Amino acid sequence: MGRQERATIARVLITGSTDGLGRESARQLVAGGHEVVLHGRSEQRADEGLVATLGAADAVVGDLASIDQTVALAGQVRALGRLDVVIHNAGIGYGEPSRVETEDGLEHVFQINVLAPYLLTALVPAPRRLIYLSSGLHRDGDANLDDLQWERRRWDGYQAYCDSKLFDTVLAAAVARRWPAVTTTSLEPGWVKTKLGGADAPGDVKSGAGAEGWLATSDDPRVRSGQHFDGRSPAAAHPAVADVAIQDGLLAACERVSGVGLA
């Protein structure tokens, strides 16, 4: 293993790591000798994850569709001590034919894909690296912050997903700007064969997971805070991602609906 690929990060939390891309990332990082903490939305899912990923150090539990459970999840993570990296991998796709509202009265794609990583970022001590899972579809997202909860627009599940991935990428850029001591990146893992990607996806889940692990552990000089990646290659993000007004507007909107601010 060359110098640029030398692993430097040991303690890793991966949200949504009991299945799909997150599980494969966990397996690869465990195989590389890292201490990996899994996350499942329920005790059953967390237990299944520990069986499926032998060698994982621990698992934390919390349904990201609930503010209370996400806050409690952050408490579990704090109790583990400081982590080296957090991979915000968890997310849902665009299969719902109509708008779904969570127990908090929020649109569920936004709450799970955007608000949950915001809350965990705000409530968990800053690690050395943060990775936010984006998608190539973020370029089809609408950066308008006026109706994040889809209360006035006609529901469009595909657009809601694209918007959420755009806002994940905006969140990464906002955190990179506010926390210069943390290496914060966003990642398009590619269209890979997972439950979200589907069986017809051209990419292999191992390659997408490998990109997550590479961003988490590599000494490659391309891994710079504020950089967006398509796999292991730096890539241009949607122009809105660099807009400071949109970054601050998203942070303010997340604080408004959750009551939790980002330091």
What is the SS3 assignment for 48-108? HHHHHCCCCCEEEECCCCCHHHHHHHHHHHHHCCCCCEEEECCCCCCCCCCCCECCCCCEH
Residue 136 lies in a domain: yes
Residue 262 lies in a domain: no
Residue 232 lies in a domain: yes
Report the candidate in 195, 214, 196, 193 with the shortest Cα–Cα distance to residue 205: 193
Residue 86 lies in a domain: yes
Residue 205 lies in a domain: yes
Residue 248 lies in a domain: yes
Q: Which domain holds residue 150?
A: 3-257
At 34 the pLDDT is 97
161 in catalytic set:
yes
Catalytic residue among 118, 132, 161, 193: 161
Q: How many domains does the chain have?
A: 1
Residue 50 lies in a domain: yes
Residue 263 lies in a domain: no
Instruction: Reply yes or no on whether the pLDDT at 12 is more than 70.
Output: yes
How many Å separate Cα 128 from the centre of its chain?
16
Catalytic residue among 165, 193, 195, 206: 165
Confidence of residue 3 (pLDDT cuts 50, 70, 90): very low
Instruction: Reply yes or no on whether the pLDDT at 118 is more than 70.
Output: yes
Q: What is the mean pLDDT of residues 211-216?
A: 96
Confidence of residue 207 (pLDDT cuts 50, 70, 90): confident
Per-residue pLDDT of 132-173, as tens digits, reads 999 999 999 999 999 999 999 999 999 999 999 999 999 999
Per-residue pLDDT of 72-114, as tens digits, reads 999 999 999 999 999 999 999 988 899 999 999 999 999 999 9
193 in catalytic set:
no
CATH number at residue 162: 3.40.50.720
